[in-house]
Structure 1
Amino acid sequence: MITILGKAGSINVRKVLWTCAELALPFEREDWGSGFRPTEDPEFLALNPNALVPVIRDGDFVLWESNTIIRYLANRYGDAAFYPLDPQARAGVDQWLDWQATNLNNSWSYAFMALARHSPAHTDAQQIAASVANWEKHMRILEQRLQQAGSYVCGAQFTLADIAIGLSVQRWFATPLAHPDLPALNAYYARLSEREGFMLFGRNGMP
């Protein structure tokens, strides 16, 4: 039984939850993070000194960092279609996982905190506008990729990369801002929404 430590609303926890759903892995989840048990608690810090969710326990094995966790789960419990064994195909999946965790996440963080979370620390109009523009730039990169690749980020097959990318796409559509017409991205979002795991943990049951 996998134990997932982290609140269900965290985008990084949702990566792990959705991965477990795709792999039909049973799990237990403990609420940790803002509004729940504090991650500065010594019990949590003993598992992850960074005081960040998610953390998993798989028996006696403990692991943190969301993309590392989902790679581990795919390696241990998945198949070659979900996370390819071929070095070049796997590198393609890893490329988009890393792009989501770095370039894409950094583009939307300020705008999301301002427009969706209404954070009092994110009210600078120029920074909001710059973040929105940067976010749109990266979504256009994804649009171009989907036009080239087809159904999913790495081609015709749903892979681990679509979990990380799909959650960021959900955040894009859920944030109140002007969304340009990106037909491949729209079709991709609709395609992901046919997956039970995405509806449960990507869109959290929301239409």
Structure 2
Amino acid sequence: MAQASGVGSGTCRRSHRVVLRRPRGTYTAAVAPQLLEGVVELKANGMAMARKANKPTMSVEIYGMEISGNVIPPVLFAMDKKCGKFVRKDMMKGELKTQEFLKINPWGQMPAMQDGKFCLAEGNAILRYLANKYCPSAYGGSDLKSKAMIDWALDWANTNFMKQYAGIWYPTVGFGSPPEDQKAVNDACTENLNKFAKLFLATTKFVGGDSPSIADYKCAVLFWYLDFPAIRQQRAGFELPERIKAYVKDFMDTCESKDFLSGGSGFMASKATN
């Protein structure tokens, strides 16, 4: 006799929904409550298993240095969502070029991430992965338009905005020479940030809504790094627009793991005294 599809055949697994077929006649008063109790218990166990399966774990490790504007965003996000931790790798000591690290990121750059046996690099890619796995709402959920706007802001930060950021932050901390015309770079940065505010923050506190998305973890951190005395008064002479300052404050007020930023704060303070 052919075996019924989906009942122990091993070829077609149906859902775990329990269907109780009522035989002819009626249940006795003693049997019906017992059957109902069994169904309720099965449903409760299934819901508990689903919650356990989706519960974040600390299996994720993110490697880099705590002063890097590319490392900080995914680390903050992982810490806030209780799904990962920071593992320091000192670029100055060659720890990004060891054979062990090159197995994680063959380019020997930071940040890099390891989740079990899965390895990933590039800050934006790590942010997207973590959000998709642990907190989809921070990446627009199922709303394609919200997701696209978040992607737009993430990519804008790494391309359009990076030229001005590099012309202000990097020379301040000694990672390059100042631009020939610092004022022109500062003015271009101000204009760019005002466009960002008009596009992404006109009606909401954050990119795509009233709670932080992964784009806010990226953008707010970069903007935060441009608002230190070493940049404002002593070196580049750049000042964040007021709307962007308010945006950074709003983000920091919601960020549970902002204590991690003490490394970056100390680094910038050291540049202000030199």
TM-score over 0.5 (shorter chain): yes
Q: Using a 3 Å threshold, how does the CA distance of structure 1 residues 138 and 198 change in structure 2: closer, same or farther?
A: farther
Do 2:64 and 2:87's aligned partners in 1 also have CA atoms closer than 8 Å?
yes
1:168 aligns with 2:228: no
Structure 1 window deviating more from structure 2 (82-91 vs 102-111): it is: 82-91
Structure 1 unmatched runs, 5+: none
Q: Which residue of 1 aligns with 2:250?
A: 191
1:11 paired residue among 46, 49, 69:
69
Task: Indicate the RMSD between aligned Cα atoms, in angstroms.
Answer: 2.4
**Given the two structures, how large is their TM-score scaled by the length of structure 2?**
0.66
Q: Which residue of 1 aligns with 2:189?
A: 135
Do 1:7 and 1:36's aligned partners in 2 also have CA atoms closer than 8 Å?
no
Distance 1:172 1:66 in 2: 19
Distance 1:61 1:124 in 2: 40
1:124-177 alpha-carbon deviations (Å, 9 max, x no partner) = 432x33322222221111232355132112232321111011111102212222
Q: Using a 3 Å threshold, how does the CA distance of structure 1 residues 143 and 198 change in structure 2: closer, same or farther?
A: farther
Do 2:61 and 2:85's aligned partners in 1 also have CA atoms closer than 8 Å?
yes
- Structure having greater relative contact order (Cα 8 Å, sep ≥ 6): 1
Larger Rg: 2
Distance 1:15 1:73 in 2: 11
Q: Which residue of 2 aligns with 1:179?
A: 239
Q: Which residue of 1 aligns with 2:121?
A: 64
Structure 1 window deviating more from structure 2 (142-151 vs 15-24): it is: 142-151
Do 2:73 and 2:123's aligned partners in 1 also have CA atoms closer than 8 Å?
yes
Structure 2 unmatched runs, 5+: 1-58, 267-274
Identity of aligned residues (%): 21
Q: 1:36-51 to 2 correspondence within 5 Å?
A: 36-51=93-108
Q: Using a 3 Å threshold, how does the CA distance of structure 1 residues 168 and 205 change in structure 2: closer, same or farther?
A: closer
Q: Using a 3 Å threshold, how does the CA distance of structure 1 residues 118 and 7 change in structure 2: closer, same or farther?
A: closer
Amino acid at match of 1:12: N
